[in-house]
Structure 1
Amino acid sequence: MLFDKEKGPNKETETFKNLVLVFIVVFWSIGAQAQMKDQSDSLQTGRWELFKYDMGNVFGGIVHSYSRPLHWKGEEWMTLGAVVAGTGLIYLFDEQVSQFAIRQQGGVPDFVNYYGARVGSPTYNYMFTGGVYVTGLLIKDERTRRLGVLLLASASSAGLLQQVVKSMVGRARPEYGNGKDTFDPFNTNRSFHSFPSGHTILAFTNAHAIAKQFKDPWLKTGIYVIGSVPGATRLWEGQHWLTDIALGVAISIFMVESIDGYLDSKYDDKFNGKEKGVSWNIGFGFGQIRISGRF
């Protein structure tokens, strides 16, 4: 139980609040340092003008992400093929993985489940992403503003796509006792909105966009681990199959990379310079399938 009616939030809830506070401090520090390094034209531009420019880029980034498949070439189609093949291979083991994960739920700390459920929800997601953007706007820092634009555009683009796909596919959630092969397209009941995982998409979209701010591999790994928690919680809660989560991660990476490339032409600050792009590798071993991505 997360709340006591008489005493208020318990330690798990306080831990979640502390995590949110840490993120706010980190982003404020990033913005403050960048502002000290670059007192450029944006400092002389009014906030309303900056806001209009940034919101135009949010919309432009969304449109750009949806139009990119029209411009794909060999490498991009190979990446798509790897994602489809990897998802198909995982599909073979969906039921076994789901049963195993659900059995582990009792040993998961409450604050982890609380964090996963809240961070992956649209309400908390836009509170966080909006907070990052507003911080950048208030201090007139281009890097933080750009990060906010990337977060908002990526979450909106990926979020809308997953809602459409969920409705069209109509896959049943594991918790209702249906097998992995149960589909009822365009069923409005949330019980048939399993594929892909919305919580995973929103959380991992944020993680990938934030990780692009740093080059240290250990720091990036930590960010990705935190961003993977909501997807894991949905797995052991029986809300999603492993393929729902895997495709959610792939959609997140695609949207962030696509919109980040678009924003390169709109802002002077480039995240990690030319270190962009995504590559996938699928390997097979005795009794195992290994799918890895380099980004």
Structure 2
Amino acid sequence: MKKLIFLFIGFVLNFMNAQTTTEMVKEETIWQNFKYDMGSIGGGVGYSFSRPLHWKKKDWVNFAGFTVGTIILNLADDEINSWVNGIRSEIPEGLKEFGNHYARPEGNFSLSGAVYLTGLFIKNEKVRRAGVLMMASTISGGVIQQFGTRIIHRARPLTGKSSSNYSIGHFEKVEGYDSFFSGHTVLSFANAYAIGKQFKNPWVKAGIYTVGMIPGFTRIIVSKHWLSDVVFGTVMSIVIVESIDKYLDSKYKAKYNNNDKKVSWNLSFAPGQIGLNISFN
């Protein structure tokens, strides 16, 4: 399985390097670039945490709508978990193992570290920036997720409790009550989404996003998370990556998209249906 992960890292790095035409900055040393990038990671993390302070009315309305949508999605969690119980034995063990190992902190930072160090040593600003984006996004997402689980205390499916079982009112960790929201999903899809931004080809993007979604899918299969935990984690990772990427536009000359980075989502409701449409400009 480790060989598969490293092969994936090698594929991504080779593809990204082939796509970029950024000129090398010979006058800057590796150490100077490293210090600058570490500062950019810290700045990106701080920027993502401070964004709600700058939200306008529309942003708060969108956030409220997404929160309501997540709550409504919770109503289907028990039924979906029952359906998963019927197909669990049909899911290949290799897929579950990949989903579990890829999104662990060591797997996550192995990937982002490999991308960043490659860009640093070949003096490729676009690849460096990609690594910075990946690391800043996963740090931000990881911190937010940890606070979320300590505040909300939602029971995991494997406890045998219902999806509506919470232990709110304290900050201490409770075994089995750290379901909302999925940390594996945040780490894996933040990396996948950050890498996907390097490519214009929709098929390449789709392939990368599919790999990034495997951990969230497997966490549902192994009864560690409910569907709403994974959906919320996925959207959170997208919002965080877009926010930090916008910040990095002011820090690096190399850009993936010359347009303003804007994230918007719209929720639609109908009998028995919930629709979520996310657009990026």
Q: Report if TM-score (shorter chain) is over 0.5.
A: yes
Q: What is the alpha-carbon distance in structure 2 between the residues aligned to residue 26 and residue 145 of structure 1?
A: 13
Listed as ranges, the gaps of 5+ residues in structure 2 are none
SS of the aligned residue for 2:276 comes to strand
Mapping of residues 134-149 of structure 1, within 5 Å: 134-149=117-132
- State the shift of 1:65 in Å: 0.4
State whether residues 129 and 152 of structure 1, in contact with CA within 8 Å, keep that contact through their aligned partners in structure 2.
yes
1:63 corresponds, among 25, 34, 46, to 46
- State the shift of 1:234 in Å: 0.6
Q: What is the alpha-carbon distance in structure 2 between the residues aligned to residue 107 and residue 90 of structure 1?
A: 25
Query: Which residue type is aligned with residue 216 of structure 1?
Result: N
Match of 2:59 in 1: 76
Query: Which residue type is aligned with residue 78 of structure 1?
Result: V
If the length of structure 2 is used for normalisation, what is the TM-score?
0.93
The question of 1:38 aligning with 2:7 is answered no
SS of the aligned residue for 1:269 comes to coil
Match of 1:188 in 2: 173
- State the shift of 1:22 in Å: 3.3
If the length of structure 1 is used for normalisation, what is the TM-score?
0.89
Match of 2:229 in 1: 244
Query: Which residue type is aligned with residue 207 of structure 1?
Result: A
Residues 214-265 of structure 1: per-residue CA shift (max 9 Å, x gap): 1222222222221111001111111011111111112101110110000000
Query: Which residue type is aligned with residue 191 of structure 1?
Result: G
Percent identical among aligned pairs is 41
Residues 35-83 of structure 1: per-residue CA shift (max 9 Å, x gap): xx3334x222110000000000000000000001111113322321231
SS of the aligned residue for 2:161 comes to coil
C-alpha change, 1:287 and 1:32, in structure 2 (3 Å) is: closer
1:131 corresponds, among 108, 114, 127, to 114
Match of 1:290 in 2: 275
- State the shift of 1:32 in Å: 5.2
- State the shift of 1:99 in Å: 1.5
Count of aligned pairs between the two proteins: 278
- State the shift of 1:286 in Å: 5.1
2:253 corresponds, among 268, 272, 280, to 268
Mapping of residues 96-175 of structure 1, within 5 Å: 96-175=79-158
Query: Which residue type is aligned with residue 49 of structure 1?
Result: Q
Match of 1:234 in 2: 219
Match of 1:8 in 2: none
Q: What is the alpha-carbon distance in structure 1 between the residues aligned to residue 22 and residue 198 of structure 2?
A: 16
State whether residues 157 and 255 of structure 1, in contact with CA within 8 Å, keep that contact through their aligned partners in structure 2.
yes
Match of 2:37 in 1: 54
Listed as ranges, the gaps of 5+ residues in structure 1 are 1-12
